[in-house]
Homo-oligomer: A and B are copies of this chain.
Amino acid sequence: MTESTTGIVPIDIEVSSQVATHWYNLNADFPEPTPPALNPATDEPLIPEDLAALFPMSLITQEISTERFIEIPQAVREVYSLWRPSPLHRAKRLERAIGTKAKIYYKYEGVSPTGSHKPNSAVPQAYFNKLEGIERLTTETGAGQWGASLAFACALFGLESETWQVRSSYEQKPYRHMQMEVYGSSCHASPSELTEAGRRMRAEFPDTTGSLGMAISEAVEVAMRDPKTNYALGSVLNHVMLHQSVIGQEVLAQLTQAGEEQADVVFGCAGGGSNAAGLMFPLLGQNLREGTTTRFVACEPAACPSITKGEYRYDFGDVAGLTPKLKMYTLGADFVPPAIHASGLRYHGMSPMLSHAVHMGLIGATAIEQKDCFRAGITFARAEGIIPAPESTHAIAGALRYATTDARGGEVIVIGLSGNGVLDLTAYSGVLG
């Protein structure tokens, strides 16, 4: 099906040549293939039809593709051009504030309409679903960045959307569901009474603060009921990593423009892995193909340490066992992070592609305490003027630790600033208070 046969036509604006024309797929360059997802009934590798109840065929094709570059539709590039390319800033004030001789850059995704990198995948997911005649998307969200971004994307392409948000975040961050509502979407605290899975979890754990695994079960259940409703996931899956590659591709171009030969060390925050992968994979691909020597550190919360404390094994993506089994670092599908954990980055597992890269020794990882993260966030805000999302503070904390201890003079450090923290100010307030 093409754009012109479905009523999704490009709005016909000129898009800057600096907006990527293709997504980059690391599965074309991995020395060994990423272990496939398994059908939970048979434990056999998934076939595309296994996913057809939840995703449009175009996204399933991307999910299993090993093509290196996949073209970005013009209608998606037009929406990207609302905020892309996102800026790569040199953080000279921060360098001075912490007294490092390294050069620190940050790639700032907070300029998107919802304030994070999540629209990079929400926009193509809404687009491809619309193209295949889907009318409604369901999803889950933790802190709310993904839910708001999908609501934004659905508004632009004329789709309905419905989000289940982890209950503790729903209650702590009320602005997020208001944001979804302004875009015309609905949002429920999870576990809810609206689904079989939700009712079961509430009966079993009446006081639960919720988890992404539970919210996924609810959203998947609703999508499975109706052929015109699909499900959208904001992280973890291969096609999400693919869409996020616009971040790293821009970084490569922007570093060249800034006169840097390569990034020496890249720090990204890791929950499900979408921001870290989007930032790192294009640079890792360059290492694999062209012999650059960029190193990578995935920074995860000590309260949800899937890479550094989890096991690398097949596990379900959700609590109810409705999803395929994925080979990943996991804390177990029933893991619930402590309610005090204030950022997103609360998924029990980790993107299979990112997990594979870590398992092969291509990407390193570290876990950071929440207090150290917010302290780093405040240092960053007062030096650079941008209040980082709590998620992003993990990458900042990792980078600052490195820049003030191990970094050599002139070394090029890149921080993935996944979003801004304006809707997370209560979390900062707790630390300042």
Contacts and interface: CB of A to CB of B under 8 A. Distances in A.
A155 B385 contact: yes
Contacts of A183: 381-382, 387
Interface in A240-285: none
Interface stretch (A86-94, A206-214, A311-319, A362-370): A86-94
A423 B92 CA distance: 29
Copies of this chain held together in the complex: 2
A425 to B, nearest CB: 4
Most chain B CB within 10 A, of A377, A382, A383, is at: A382
Interface in A350-391: 377-378, 381-387
Interface centre among A381, A386, A422 (most CB of B within 10 A): A422
Interface string A111-153: 1010100000000000000000000000000000000000010
A90 B13 contact: yes
**A contact residues, range:** 35 or more
A202 to B, nearest CB: 26
A381 B175 contact: no
A182 interface: yes
Contacts of A152: 385
Contacts of A418: none
A79 interface: yes
Nearest to A377: B182
A406 interface: no
Contacts of A429: 178, 181
A270 B323 CA distance: 52
A321 interface: no
Contacts of A179: 387, 422, 425
B92 A82 contact: no
A58 interface: no
Interface in A69-96: 79, 82-83, 87, 89-90, 92-93, 96
